[in-house]
C-alpha cells in the first residue's frame, strides 16, 4: 500500500468518525444555492483532511468542495469531498460518506470512499484493483437491461437547469428492473464497483463527487464514460458508469431522451 493511499484512508476514517460523532447534534447550516447546503461538519471534515494531507505532502495541490487547502501548481492534486450527502446528513438520513482521490498529471491514481454508517471503506490504486474493507471487489455480471438495478441522482440546479435528468429518468425507469436515488454519487459509484448496482448515471456532478468513485469502478472491471460512450473526464458534466455489459444499452437510452 502506498503512502498516499495510507494517508487517504486514515483521513477518510477520521473524517467519517467525526461525522458520526456529531450526527445527532444540531448543525450550523448555510445555503450555497436554493437547495445546495453546507454544514459546519462539512467544513470541519474538510479542515481535518486538508491539514492531514498537507502535513504529509506539503507541496501537493488540494481541490476540495468547500475551498479548503491550496494550489501550488503541483503534478499531484488531492480531490476531496469531505461529506458527500450533506442533505442526507443534515436530515439525519444515514447515508453519506467521505470521498478522497489523488490525481497525478491528470490521471486519478488513488481513490478512497468511506461510509461511516456501515463502516465500509472502498479503495483503489491505479492498476491494483478495487477493495471493500480489504477484500477485492468486482462489478456485476448482469447483461440484460430489464434485470438491471440502476442508480441516478439530480443535481442541485434541478429546478433551473434545462438538462435536469428528468427525461432520462422517465425513459430509463421503463427499461430497467429498478432505479434507486440516494443522493450520494460517491457511494452509488462504489455500489456499481461491488455489484450492488449494475449502472449509474447523472448530470452536473463535480470532480470531488466522482473522482474517487470513478477509479474504484474502473479498477473493479467496470466502465465509465460520458453519455455517448466517449472518454470520461471528472471535469465534464456527464457521468455514465456500469458493469460494462449493459453500457451500450444505457448509452442508447441516455442519448435519446
Grid cell locating 159:
429546478
Check residue 232 and give left, alpha or beta (phi > 0: left; psi -120 to 50: alpha): beta
Q: Which 8-state DSSP code applies to residue 58?
A: T
Q: Does domain 145-254 have CATH number 3.30.559.30?
A: no
What residues does each domain of the chain span? 3-136, 145-254
Question: What phi, psi does 219 have (nearest 5°)?
Answer: -75, -15
Compute CA 68 distance to the chain's CA centroid, rounded to the nearest angstrom: 18
Question: Of 188, 182, 215, 219, whose CA–CA distance to 201 is shortest?
Answer: 188
DSSP string for 216-254: HHHHTT-EEE-TTSPBP-TTSSEEEEE-STTHHHHHHHH
Min mean pLDDT across 21-25, 26-30, 181-185 is at 26-30
Average pLDDT for 51-68: 89
Query: Residues 159-189: pLDDT tens digits?
Result: 666 788 889 999 999 999 999 999 999 999 9
Q: What is the pLDDT of residue 160?
A: 65
| Reported pTM | 0.93
Please report which confidence band the pLDDT of residue 210 belongs to, taking 50, 70 and 90 as the band edges. Answer: very high
> What's domain 3-136's superfamily in CATH?
Fructose-1,6-Bisphosphatase, subunit A, domain 1 (3.30.540.10)
Burial class (CB in 10 A: 0-12, 13-18, 19+), 211: buried
Amino acid at each position: 500500500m502506498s503512502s498516499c493511499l495510507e494517508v487517504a484512508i486514515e483521513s477518510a476514517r477520521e473524517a467519517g468518525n467525526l461525522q458520526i460523532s456529531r450526527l445527532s447534534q444540531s448543525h450550523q447550516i448555510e445555503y450555497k444555492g436554493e437547495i445546495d447546503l453546507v454544514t459546519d461538519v462539512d467544513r470541519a471534515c474538510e479542515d481535518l483532511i486538508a491539514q492531514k494531507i498537507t502535513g504529509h505532502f506539503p507541496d501537493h495541490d488540494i481541490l476540495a468542495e468547500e475551498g479548503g487547502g491550496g494550489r501550488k501548481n503541483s503534478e499531484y492534486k488531492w480531490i476531496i469531498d469531505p461529506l458527500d450527502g450533506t442533505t442526507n446528513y443534515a436530515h439525519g438520513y444515514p447515508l453519506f460518506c467521505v470521498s478522497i482521490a489523488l490525481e497525478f498529471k491528470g490521471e486519478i491514481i488513488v481513490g478512497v470512499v468511506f461510509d461511516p454508517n456501515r463502516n465500509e471503506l472502498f479503495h483503489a490504486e491505479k492498476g491494483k484493483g478495487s477493495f471493500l474493507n480489504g477484500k477485492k471487489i468486482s462489478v456485476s455480471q448482469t447483461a440484460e437491461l430489464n434485470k438491471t438495478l440502476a442508480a441516478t441522482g439530480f443535481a442541485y440546479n434541478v429546478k433551473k437547469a434545462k438538462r435536469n435528468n428528468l427525461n432520462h429518468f422517465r425513459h430509463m425507469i421503463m427499461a430497467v428492473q429498478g432505479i434507486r436515488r440516494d443522493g450520494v454519487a460517491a457511494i452509488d459509484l462504489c455500489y456499481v464497483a461491488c455489484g450492488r448496482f449494475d449502472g449509474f448515471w447523472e448530470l452536473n456532478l463535480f470532480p470531488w463527487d466522482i473522482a474517487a468513485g470513478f477509479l474504484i469502478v474502473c479498477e473493479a472491471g467496470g466502465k465509465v464514460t460520458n453519455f455517448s460512450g466517449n472518454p470520461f473526464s471528472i471535469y465534464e458534466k456527464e457521468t455514465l458508469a456500469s458493469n460494462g455489459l449493459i453500457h451500450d444499452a444505457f448509452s442508447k437510452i441516455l442519448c435519446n431522451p
